[in-house]
Each structure stands twice: as structure tokens, then as C-alpha cells.
């Protein structure tokens, strides 16, 4: 399957125009509406059903356009991401959800036949995302590193707001599969991950609030800047 681009909407860090924080209901139910629980469960189940993985699922949500991404909040994304994965693997036919929705609501629509599944050629080498690897970490705590600048062809976990900036390695985290290739079943590409500390003024200029931004960077995202 051809690699599909993310819409870009999910990469929120540092973007503007979203307004003030909403009032917080500290007693908010886990699933405020019953459908949200159903959508959550469908999201979790869709990975196994489609023969994919957590990174593919995240990318399936990140491919949603802005309106779809924001509709129904987190669990709206879950169920639409699930649908994308199930369509990709030919578990459900295009148009089948819409036709069933029409029929469930008292209308009448022809439903496409169940298709022949075409799951990706993918099997994980172990459970979860952490892997043991032989390579030594390329960077050490305290080392200056610069994040690369990229427009990813597919999935990535390298946020735009840290791209091209210099930070300092704060923690060497366990090696993990690389989401950029794992999401597309190209390779696990397990590699060291680093929690990198950035000065807020490096990211947002001299007038920024003063704080430290820590975030995780896969080794492929970094170059030496010492």
C-alpha cells in the first residue's frame, strides 16, 4: 500500500488560535457519552483485526482532515482511525459504514459485499515497542544535539515545533521501534531514544516564557551539535 501523508492537524505543539483553556470538570466521566466507550474499544480492536500496529493506528488518525480529526474529540478520532485501518486491510468495503448507518437510521441503502481481506505483510519481532539492540547509543547525557528538519512522507513523531533546534540530551531512554517505518510495515528499525531538553527561547525566541521543554527524539531525528 502506498504511504499516505498525515494531514498535519495532529501536530498541535506551538500552534496558535485555539483560544483559552476550557473550564475543567474534575468529575468528568471517563466516557461522557456511551458511544465514546464503544469507539474506544473499536479503536483498540481495530489494530489486531487489520493486522497492523499502534503506530499505524496513530497515523490512521493523523490522516484525518481537520474537520474529521476534531469531530467527536479523541474517541471520534479513534473510531475514524479504526475505520481507516479496516479499509486499508480490506476488512470492510468502502461505503459499507455509510450504508449501514443509513440502514440503522431507518433509511435504505445497498450495502457492499464483505471484501477479501488484504492485511499487510507484517509481524512484530516482540510485543510492545521496546527492543534490545546491539548498537551503543550515539549520544550521551549532556551532549548538544540538533533535530532534523523534515516534511515526512508518512508517519513521524518529530514535532514541527522542535525541528531544526538545538537541545541537550537529558535522558537516554530504552531503544524502541521507529514509528516512521513501523507505521508503514517497512521495518521496526529499533533505535535509541533520547529525552532532549530545549530552552524555551531556543524554540520560541527571546521573548518566550522561560522554561525547559523536554521531549523524546528517536536517534534518526538527531544530529550532533556539540
Partner 1 sequence: MSNELTVNDHIPIELRTEALEDLLVERGLVDRTVMDNFIKTYAQDVGPLNGAKVVAKAWTDPEFKERLLANGTTTVAELGFKGPQGEHIVVVENSDDLHNVIVCTLCSCYPWPLLGLPPSWYKDPVYRSRVVKEPRAVLAEMGLDLPDSQQVKVWDSSSEVRFFVLPQRPAGTEGMSEEDLVPLITRESMIGVALVAAP
> Taking the mean position of all CA atoms in its chain, how far away is CA 75?
14
The single residue among 47, 79, 145, 183 that binds partner 1, judged by CB under 8 A, is 79
H or E element, residue 195: strand 191-199
Please give the residues from 80 up to 119 whose contact with partner 1 meets the rule CB under 8 A: 80, 82-83, 86, 91-92, 95-102, 104-109, 114
Question: In sequence order, which ranges of the chain are alpha helices (DSSP H)?
Answer: 34-50, 54-62, 66-70, 73-88, 96-104, 179-182, 200-204
Neighbours of 164 (CB within 10 A): 11
Nearest-approach distance from CB 224 to partner 1, in angstroms? 20
The single residue among 2, 18, 113, 136 that binds partner 1, judged by CB under 8 A, is 18
Count of chain residues binding partner 1 (CB under 8 A): 89
Phi and psi at residue 223, to the nearest 5°? -130, 160
Please give the residues from 116 up to 135 whose contact with partner 1 meets the rule CB under 8 A: 128-130
C-beta separation of 182 from 53 below 8 A: yes
Q: What is the distance between the alpha carbons of residues 222 and 226, in angstroms, rounded to a whole number?
A: 12
- Give bridge partners of residue 195 from the DSSP assignment: 171, 216
The single residue among 3, 5, 33, 186 that binds partner 1, judged by CB under 8 A, is 33
Q: Which is nearer to partner 1, 26 or 121 (CB)?
A: 26
Nearest-approach distance from CB 27 to partner 1, in angstroms? 10
Q: For partner 1, which stretch binds (CB under 8 A), given 11-19, 118-126, 140-148?
A: 11-19
Q: For partner 1, which stretch binds (CB under 8 A), given 118-126, 132-140, 142-150, 198-206?
A: 198-206
Amino acid at each position: 500500500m502506498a504511504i499516505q501523508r498525515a494531514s498535519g492537524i495532529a501536530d498541535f505543539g506551538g500552534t496558535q488560535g485555539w483560544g483559552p483553556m476550557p473550564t475543567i470538570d474534575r468529575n468528568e466521566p471517563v466516557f461522557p457519552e456511551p458511544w465514546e466507550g464503544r469507539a474506544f474499544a473499536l479503536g483498540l480492536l481495530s489494530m489486531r483485526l487489520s493486522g497492523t500496529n499502534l503506530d499505524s493506528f496513530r497515523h490512521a488518525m493523523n490522516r484525518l482532515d481537520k474537520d474529521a480529526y476534531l469531530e467527536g474529540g479523541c474517541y471520534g478520532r479513534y473510531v475514524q482511525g479504526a475505520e481507516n485501518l479496516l479499509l486499508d486491510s480490506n476488512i470492510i468495503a468502502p461505503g459499507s459504514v455509510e450504508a449501514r448507518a443509513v440502514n440503522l437510521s431507518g433509511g435504505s441503502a445497498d450495502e457492499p459485499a464483505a471484501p477479501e481481506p488484504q492485511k499487510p505483510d507484517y509481524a512484530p519481532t516482540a510485543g510492545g515497542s521496546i527492543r534490545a539492540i546491539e548498537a551503543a547509543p550515539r549520544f550521551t547525557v549532556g551532549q548538544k544535539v540538533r533535530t532534523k528538519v523534515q516534511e515526512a512522507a508518512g508517519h513521524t513523531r518529530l514535532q514541527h515545533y522542535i525541528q531544526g533546534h538545538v537541545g541537550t540530551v537529558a535522558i537516554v531512554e530504552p531503544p524502541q521501534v521507529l514509528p516512521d517505518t513501523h507505521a508503514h510495515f517497512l521495518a521496526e528499525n529499533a533505535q535509541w531514544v533520547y529525552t532532549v531538553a530545549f530552552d524555551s527561547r531556543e524554540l520560541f525566541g527571546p521573548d518566550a516564557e522561560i522554561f525547559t521543554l523536554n521531549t523524546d527524539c528517536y536517534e534518526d531525528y538527531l544530529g550532533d551539535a556539540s
